[in-house]
Amino acid sequence: MSAPQSPVDWGDTPDPHAIRRRRVDAWGVLRIVVCAFGLLSLATWGYFAWPFPMPAILFMVGAPVFAAVVWYFFRSPASSIQTDVVGKTIVEVALIIAAGGCWISIGYPVVGLVFIVVAALSGVVEFRKETR
């Protein structure tokens, strides 16, 4: 009698210890900066728009955490919820408008509009890369 054979061809199995490097370009760096600035915008809005201490601290922490969770579940490449391009676009546009609206609501409309334009540009480039 021979030993049981595995149905897996081990020659085709990738090495689990191999490092997968992602290519980072200028658009990727801009994308990271836009996302970080968006979260910072929401925290800044919580600080300036609400009376300190209780509501301000709640919104300073809660608004960026909520945005990050929504982005993770509906927009992230590692998301467990599969969303089509339209759903990803709706989520991203809502987050960009929210972060830009934060600056407009606390009295810095130029910062908000510049953020919206830069974030929209980086979003269009990212979607073009994803849909190739």
Q: Is the Cβ–Cβ distance between 100 and 123 less than 8 Å?
A: no
Residue pointed to by tokens 């759903």: 87
Report whether pLDDT(13) > 80.
no
Query: How confident is the model at residue 12, as a pLDDT?
Result: 63
Cβ pair 37, 115 in contact under 8 A: yes
> What is the reported pLDDT for 1?
59
Q: Where are the domains of the chain?
A: 26-130
Q: What would the two tokens of residue 13 be?
A: 């199995």
Reply yes or no on whether the pLDDT at 127 is more than 80: yes
Question: Is the pLDDT score of 64 beyond 90?
Answer: yes
The DSSP line for 68-115 is HHHHHHHT-TT-SS---HHHHHHHHHHHHHHHHHHHHHTT-HHHHHHH
Write out pLDDT tens, residues 14-46.
666 766 677 778 888 898 899 999 999 999 999
Q: pTM for the full model?
A: 0.76
Residue of higher predicted confidence among 55 and 21:
55
**CA-CA distances (angstroms) from residue 24 to 3, 14, 71, 115, 116?**
47, 23, 20, 22, 23
* Residue in this structure with the two tokens 């849909």, named with its chain if needed: 131
pLDDT at 47: 92
